[in-house]
Structure 1
């Protein structure tokens, strides 16, 4: 069964965030993930989300957790956390 990661945040440092963006895609693909939504152009039906919405799809919960906990992603995670 597919599993999804949904993230919503505001970018506080675009230059640092761009470094994250250039590195994150290959880590997702390496774990069979797909980027379904990524960017500032989502239109919420309800609520007041942050400026960027990201939806990732993985073939299973195990694949999602494998990506998130992988050394490749953990090495760049601080680039997102420090710049959003």
Structure 2
């Protein structure tokens, strides 16, 4: 069953964010991840949740998503994401 990484992201530095995406994208793809969606067109319906943007990345399994996130390759670029944005992330095992 697929696993999903879901991130609520507010980009704070567009240049650093572009660099992060250049570096992180190939690592994610090599780990079997693919974007299901990434959007800043969000309408709050309940609870006052107003994320700046949402990204959903699908992996073949939750273990693949976990392995990607905790991999040395990805952990080496997490600081780039944190420099370029603030946010929250979860792993969903479908």
TM-score normalised by length of structure 1: 0.86
Q: Is the 8 A contact 1:5 1:57 kept in 2?
A: yes
Task: Specify the alignment match of 1:55 in structure 2.
Answer: 56
- Greater share of residues in strand: 2
Task: Specify the alignment match of 1:83 in structure 2.
Answer: 84
Aligned CA RMSD, in angstroms, stands at 1.5
Task: Specify the alignment match of 1:40 in structure 2.
Answer: 40
Q: How much has 1:45 moved relative to structure 2?
A: 4.2
Q: How much has 1:48 moved relative to structure 2?
A: 2.9
Which stretch shows the higher mean deviation, 37-46 or 53-62? 37-46
**4+ long deviations beyond 4 Å:** 42-45
Aligned length: 84
Cα pair distance change 1:21/1:44, threshold 3 Å: farther
Cα pair distance change 1:44/1:6, threshold 3 Å: farther
TM-score normalised by length of structure 2: 0.78
Structure 2: segments with no counterpart, 5+ residues? 86-94
Structure 1: segments with no counterpart, 5+ residues? none
